[in-house]
Amino acid sequence: MEPFRGRIGIIGSGALGCFYGARLSRAGFDVHFLMRRDFDAVRENGLKVFSFEGDFVIRPPVFASALSLGLCDLVIVGFKTTDNHVLPDLLGPSCNLHTVVLTLQNGLGNEEAVALALAAKSDARPPSETAKQVMGGTAFLCSTRTEPGVVCHTDHGFIRLAEFSGGPRERTRAIAEMFRCAGIDCAVRESVAAIRWEKLVWNIPFNGLGVAAGRADTAAILSDPDLRGTVEELMLEVIAGARADGAEIDPGLAADLMKKTETMGAYRSSMQIDYECGRPVEVEAILGEPLRRARCAGVATPRLQMLYGIVRRLDYLNRLDKE
C-alpha cells in the first residue's frame, strides 16, 4: 500500500496537531500548519519537538489564516472540541469536494460537526454527502505544548482510524500508511463509533472525576475506595452505553484499563489540566454527548448523568471566575 500523498493542512496546532504534523513533515509529507498562538515563534525558530523517541526541529510552511492556508487534500483537525464552532470558518477555504477531513479530537459528535461544517459551504451539499469526506481517529498520545513552537512528547502516540461513513477503503489504508511512514503506529478499524467509545471508557471516569473530585489525578482517584469503585462502575456504564449505541466493546476492557492505569503513576487527565488552567473543558464531547446517546439507546447511566451535571456546572463557574 502506497502512503497518502497530497497537500496536508493541520488545523488546531496544539500539542497534538503540532506533534503529528511535525512527524509527518519530517518524514517528507507536504504538511502546512494553520497557527494562531504559535505563528510567530514557528516562523522565526521552527517547530521543535522534544520526544522520548528523539528530538528534532522542522521549519514548515505556516499560515495565520484559513484563507492563506488554502485548499488541502487532507485536513487534520486537532483543536479542542470546545472550539468546534469555528469549524465552518476554517474548513471553508481549505476544503473542496475531494478533501478528506480527519478529526483526531476527543469524544463524540466531532465527525458530525465536521460534516455539518462542510455542508455549510456555499456549494451546499447535504451532510449525508459531506459525511463521506470525514474520517475519525483516536490518538493515544502524551504530549504538551510547553511554550510557543515547542512540543514535549513523553509517551505513546498510536492512532486508530475509521471512516465516518461506511467501512475502510483505499484512502483509509493510505492515510494509515502515511502515519506509519512517519513512525507512528496506526491501525484501521471498521467503526468510528467503536474507537470513539473505546477511548471514552477511560476518558469519562478519569477526565470527569479529575475535575469533579478536585485536583484528582489517577493516583488520587485509585487510592480512594469509593472513587475507585465509581470508576469501575462508570466504565461498565460506558461500555453498556457503547454497546447499545452499536459499538462492540469487550466488557473485559474495563479491568484491562484499571490495570494499565495502576502503572501510570499520578497522571493528570487533559480535562483536569484544562480545568485547573481556567480553560473551558470538553464537557459536551466527553460527557454530554455520550450521556445523550446512551439515553437515546435506552441505557441508564446514573453515574455519568451525575458526573455530567457536576462537571458542566463546574466548567460554567470556572468560566465565570475568569470573566
**CB neighbourhood size of 62 (10 A):** 22
Q: Which is nearer to its own copies, 129 or 233 (CB)?
A: 233
Q: Under the criterion CB under 8 A, does residue 104 sit at the interface with its own copies?
A: no
- Grid cell 439515553 in the structure block, residue: 295
For 55, the enclosing helix (H) or strand (E) is none
Choosing from 199, 259, 260, 322, the catalytic residue is 199
Q: From CA 47, how far away is CA 309, in angstroms rounded?
A: 39
Q: Under the criterion CB under 8 A, does residue 268 sit at the interface with its own copies?
A: no
Q: Under the criterion CB under 8 A, does residue 285 sit at the interface with its own copies?
A: no
Q: Is 199 a catalytic residue?
A: yes
State the nearest-atom distance from the C-beta of 204 to its own copies, in Å.
13
Q: Which is nearer to its own copies, 112 or 233 (CB)?
A: 233
How, if at all, do strands 134-147 and 150-163 pair?
Answer: antiparallel
Q: From CA 114, how far away is CA 120, in angstroms rounded?
A: 10
Burial of 323 (0-12, 13-18, 19+ CB in 10 A): exposed
Exposure of 201 in the CB half-sphere (CA atoms within 13 A) = 27
167-226 residues in contact with its own copies (CB under 8 A) are 209, 212-216, 220, 224-226
3-state secondary structure of 251: coil
Q: From CA 271, how far away is CA 199, in angstroms rounded?
A: 14
Q: Which is nearer to its own copies, 123 or 226 (CB)?
A: 226
**Among 158, 305, 322, 323, contact with its own copies (rule: CB under 8 A):** 305
- Report residue 67 CA to chain centroid gap: 24
229-258 residues in contact with its own copies (CB under 8 A) are 229-230, 233
**Among 37, 59, 313, 319, contact with its own copies (rule: CB under 8 A):** 313
Q: Which is nearer to its own copies, 85 or 215 (CB)?
A: 215
Q: Under the criterion CB under 8 A, does residue 151 sit at the interface with its own copies?
A: no
Catalytic residues: 199
Q: Footprint of its own copies on this chain (CB under 8 A)?
A: 209, 212-216, 220, 224-227, 229-230, 233, 291, 302-303, 305-310, 312-314, 317
